[in-house]
Structure 1
């Protein structure tokens, strides 16, 4: 079994366990702590996900989290791990989870700042894309757009690549933007954004 297969196998086992834990009762009958425990199986008990391709959700924007759960639930966003987790959730459950995780502190994912040459390449790609127009000056996100600064590097890489290839098409504007840059630029962007730290009180 190679490294990638072992990683996928581990995630699959954890998802099966999460589903098994969540099935005995309807989701709405569970407390927010019980629901959050299911999420922690992959997203991490301390906010650090078990795999670099899984996003951090602690401290992420509430409406963004809520909207992503809705997209997974109705099948507009595809993910084999998330689909069975959100399937039994009610609107109330999803709102409670979004509020819960958005109020938690953003964890330190121990990601170093990008090297100078990577920063130069990333900034050159970012300027024409005008990512700050939506994700804000420090890439901290707003009410509806996610925080990018300090997010998991491999998750950022996969997400932008999926928009680039059209595999993920939930946001046509993002598809168009990511198609306008090449794979090398996407890699630089992921590394650069993952290594950013927010100022104490970003505007």
Structure 2
């Protein structure tokens, strides 16, 4: 039964990859000239929650500034297909065509990384040291990079909101949050919940991010 479940997950991931590849390919078609630019559409549809520059202070809302196009289109696709559990985002994504997925994700990729506002109190040195150790031990830097800026389908996580990081890490651990692959679920499955919170604390306050803006 366990082997069958693994095979089923692999098949499902394969189908998702094929469908996503189709969305990416179809999204390269030029939009009609009468359509507003995706900068305008982002401003009217996304900025109220995510911020005009891709960083807002709204609780539970991820920073989009500095994210990569491939990662953004993957998440929009998962929302559109009902694979991620967020009714508000699913409602928005369900209105998007494949070209829209590409247009919005390409625009998001032009938003430069924005540093977190200065902290009112210094970070807890012990938690930062422990978080750095966890990031090294569990190989976070292998995929997300030494500066935690990610790349391609791997998100920039440095200075992401702590509450969103906590929610995401615990979601991967419990299986509630799907990924493009099984990599994140496997990576965090062996980490204690309290260590996930420490990891989120460290990543949210990572001193080396943001790095350079993503390529346009």
Indicate which of 45, 52, 69 corresponds to 2:52: 45
Task: Give yes or no for contact 2:162–2:204 (8 Å, CA) kept in 1.
Answer: yes
Separation in structure 2 between the aligned mates of residue 153 and residue 111 of structure 1, nearest angstrom: 14
Kindly indicate whether residue 178 of structure 2 is the aligned counterpart of residue 166 of structure 1.
no
Task: Give yes or no for contact 1:77–1:168 (8 Å, CA) kept in 2.
Answer: yes
Separation in structure 1 between the aligned mates of residue 69 and residue 167 of structure 2, nearest angstrom: 22
The DSSP-based 3-state class of the residue aligned with 2:200 is: helix
Closer/same/farther in 2, CA of residues 73 and 140 from structure 1, 3 Å limit: same
Identify which of structures 1 and 2 has the higher relative contact order when contacts are C-alpha pairs closer than 8 Å and 6+ apart: 2
**Deviation of 1:50 (Å):** 4.3
Separation in structure 1 between the aligned mates of residue 189 and residue 176 of structure 2, nearest angstrom: 12
1:67 aligned partner: 74
**Deviation of 1:109 (Å):** 2.6
Q: TM-score, normalization: structure 2?
A: 0.74
Bigger mean CA offset, 110-119 vs 98-107: 110-119
Closer/same/farther in 2, CA of residues 86 and 30 from structure 1, 3 Å limit: farther
Kindly indicate whether residue 98 of structure 2 is the aligned counterpart of residue 91 of structure 1.
yes
Task: Give yes or no for contact 1:53–1:154 (8 Å, CA) kept in 2.
Answer: yes
Separation in structure 1 between the aligned mates of residue 111 and residue 132 of structure 2, nearest angstrom: 30
**Deviation of 1:80 (Å):** 0.9
Q: How much is the aligned-residue C-alpha RMSD, in angstroms?
A: 2.1
**Deviation of 1:47 (Å):** 2.6
1:175 aligned partner: 185
Closer/same/farther in 2, CA of residues 46 and 126 from structure 1, 3 Å limit: closer
2:38 aligned partner: 32
Task: Give yes or no for contact 2:144–2:154 (8 Å, CA) kept in 1.
Answer: yes
1:1-203 alignment runs, 5 A limit:
29-36=35-42, 37-110=44-117, 112=119, 114-170=123-179, 171-196=181-206, 197-198=208-209, 200-201=211-212
The DSSP-based 3-state class of the residue aligned with 2:64 is: coil
